[in-house]
């Protein structure tokens, strides 16, 4: 069995083409992360919203991030 391969992309590059892709979202604290399949992507002028399968609360990437508070995808 092969290990899944992940790529690192900027949140503003996430779009509908990424639906169904496995993702790891990490914060600066290595003990805080979410892993799942991208099932929803939405954006507005303030943020990018990513929903992962099986995780109730989506992840918000602020367009103007606060130091240490914005997750990485």
**Statement: residue 53 has pLDDT above 90:** yes
* Cβ-contact 49, 58 below 8 angstroms: yes
pTM > 0.75: yes or no:
yes
Q: What is the 3-state secondary structure (H, E, C) of the chain?
A: CCCCCCCCCCHHHCCHHHCCCEEEEECCCCCCEEEEEEEEEEECCCEEEEEECCCCCCEEEECCCCCCCCCEC
pLDDT digits (tens, 9 = 90+) for 5-49: 666 788 888 888 999 999 989 888 889 999 999 999 999 988 999
* Residues 23/73, Cβ–Cβ less than 8 Å: yes
């Amino acid at each position: 069995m092969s290990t899944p391969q992940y790529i690192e992309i900027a949140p503003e590059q996430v779009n509908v083409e990424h639906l169904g892709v496995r993702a790891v979202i990490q914060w600066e604290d290595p003990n805080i992360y979410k892993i799942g399949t991208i099932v929803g992507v939405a954006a507005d002028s303030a943020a990018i919203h990513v929903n992962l399968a099986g995780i109730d609360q989506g992840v918000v990437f602020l367009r103007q991030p606060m130091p240490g508070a914005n997750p990485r995808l």
